[in-house]
Structure 1
């Protein structure tokens, strides 16, 4: 018997706690995000130099951020100790430039996605917590879109001051300055907007929306920071990378394990390399899950239904909704839906 796939607005009032965003959310905005990996794009476009290929092979990973950070640290150590080693620095520069060009090729500019931001903003603000698995800037741009809207709602990602993460993240749920409700946003696999400096401090890049992408790439080129995101690898490699970051491990240990009664999943393929995230949410109080479905894919519904019951428990009610129905993600609502505070 096929699963019923309902319009989002038919079930939306039952969900307002947590939403998990997968790569399908980004692909719906730009097909350039459909690349299986940044490394694949770099290889197909012949951007990856031979030395860089050897590094990926030696460390047995496809994770651009990990390899770049290792070579960057090695180059900084050699430079600080005045050890002549032009090849290490040259490998870092070529790998960095390869990543910059790859991101430029794949990531749309702000003006190419700006038309979608009002709908995304209205969709996300009904949730108390947004957990994005995507490294791109779409969610961040949707957050900042709301800065010019006087609707008494605030998005917060818990980075403060000079761009550092405040690990007392729960305090940001309290509305301030006349806001009636708040949404906390977390980047479970990092983001282009996040970076590390030479002493491993993790920071958020600040710039005007329209110039943010270029500001990030110029900052990488300056050699003052390296990016902080996990975009490739097996689940074991991803968990290892998460545990090597204070911010990512805080999201993994605390945010994913915090109590919630409902969960919405949008644009996530439930791939084996990411299922550890759902496993972290076991025993957090979830009793109902709504999952987006693209173009009525019943095989996906069958697989997801079983996976959610296996991971979260057979007691969990699973509902499916059309990912292209009014009111969800980039699709304007047919009727006003108020955010749940």
Structure 2
């Protein structure tokens, strides 16, 4: 079947519900994210020691965060019981340093993406809810841009004092002060800015703009926290990781399960490992779906149309050009 691929401006007025951003959104801002996989970068750059590779093989995963957390917890148990085991701690340091080096190599600095933030913010603010599947800081930086520039609208990630996620997250939909409208932002697979400590307390690392990435890496080096994001793995592995996190499981159960009439998918390839997210939204009332397409790819259109309608039912689908005016970092003005 041949699908019509329209400019975003032709359909934008029909979509104000939920938007999902995939890796293609990050690549549109900076091509360094085309790696997609932190582990692939680490292996290509020969950053992984043989001990670390054995851990990935033994636990049958490609998820950096999972391996780092397992070895970190084992090291902390040994330390608390006074068990002499330098090899476990060295393995933890190896995984941690490998992850830090990979993030530093792939993730752009704030100044490299600053010019994109106004357009990204304007795109995101049109939606009631934004779900970012990306571990990077671009959407977080766009949120902070909005705090400084727009007093009538607020994008909120529902983290309160001390960076703690709020159980009653839905109250953030209510505008306060001079705000007239709000957008709620969530990370179904976590984010670089999210972490957990030794007692599994989860929180968000705060800092402003250019200092945020370095603050995150400094906290990782402190050995006090590990990152909270699901970077790789099969859908079964991802769902297992989600269930082991209070924040991620809340987003999965409550946020994805909320009623919505429209859904926009930008830069998400709908790989088999992520379809569980779409399936979770099946009974939420979605009546219309819009999907971005890069390069007018009809093969992609046919594949994702089949996936979406199998997961959500016979909903109408609009395809739009990912590079058209008004999309993400292609501002209208």
TM-score bracket for this pair, using the shorter chain length: over 0.9
Structure 1 ranges of 4+ moved more than 6 A: none
How far apart in 1 are the matches of 2:186 and 2:50? 36
Query: In structure 1, what is the equivalent of residue 179 of structure 2?
Result: 179
> What CA distance in whole angstroms lies between the structure 1 residues aligned with 2:90 and 2:163?
29
Match of 1:148 in 2: 148
Q: Separation in 2 of the partners of 1:226 and 1:24?
A: 26
**Distance of 1:151 and 1:253 partners within structure 2:** 31
What residue is the counterpart of 1:57 in the other structure? Answer: 57
CA distance in 2, matches of 1:170, 1:216: 27
Contact kept in structure 1, 2:23 and 2:36, CA below 8 Å? no
Cα deviations across residues 300-319 of structure 1 (Å, max 9, x unaligned)?
A: 111111111111011x1110
Counterparts of residues 160-171 of structure 1 (less than 5 Å): 160-171=160-171
d(CA) in 2 for partners of 1:76, 1:43: 27
**Equivalent-residue separation in structure 2 for 1:162 and 1:37 (angstroms):** 30
Shift of 1:81: 0.9
Q: Secondary structure at the match of 1:159?
A: coil
Which residue is 1:271 aligned to?
271
8 Å Cα contact 2:158-2:165 kept in structure 1: yes
The unaligned stretches of length 5 or more in structure 2 are none
Counterpart-to-counterpart distance in 2, 1:151 and 1:84: 55
1:5-38 CA distance string (max 9 Å, x none)? 1110111000001000000000111121111411
Q: Which residue of 1 aligns with 2:209?
A: 209
1:9 aligns with 2:9: yes
Conserved? CA contact 2:257–2:281, under 8 Å: yes
Corresponding residue number in structure 1 for 2:224:
224
2:162 aligned counterpart, secondary structure: coil
Query: After the TM superposition, which residues 246-265 of structure 1 pair with which residues of structure 2 at under 5 Å, given as runs?
Result: 246-265=246-265
> How far did 1:151 drift?
4.0
Alignment match, 1:328? 327
Which residue number in structure 1 is paired with residue 307 of structure 2? 307
Is contact 2:151–2:178 with CA below 8 Å preserved after alignment?
A: no
List runs of 5+ in structure 1 lacking aligned partners.
335-341
Preserved contact between residue 261 and residue 287 of structure 2 (Cα < 8 Å):
yes
The Cα RMSD (Å) is 0.8
Structure 2 Cα separation of the partners of residues 63 and 10 of structure 1:
39
Aligned to 1:284: 284
Per-residue CA deviation, residues 169-201 of structure 1 (Å, 9 max, x unaligned), is 111100001100000000010000000000000
TM-score, normalised via structure 2 length: 0.99
The residue correspondences of 1:44-83 to structure 2 (distance < 5 A) are 44-83=44-83
Q: Which whole-Å deviations, capped at 9, do the CAs of 1:102-146 have from their partners, x for residues lacking one?
A: 000000000000110000000000001000100000000000001
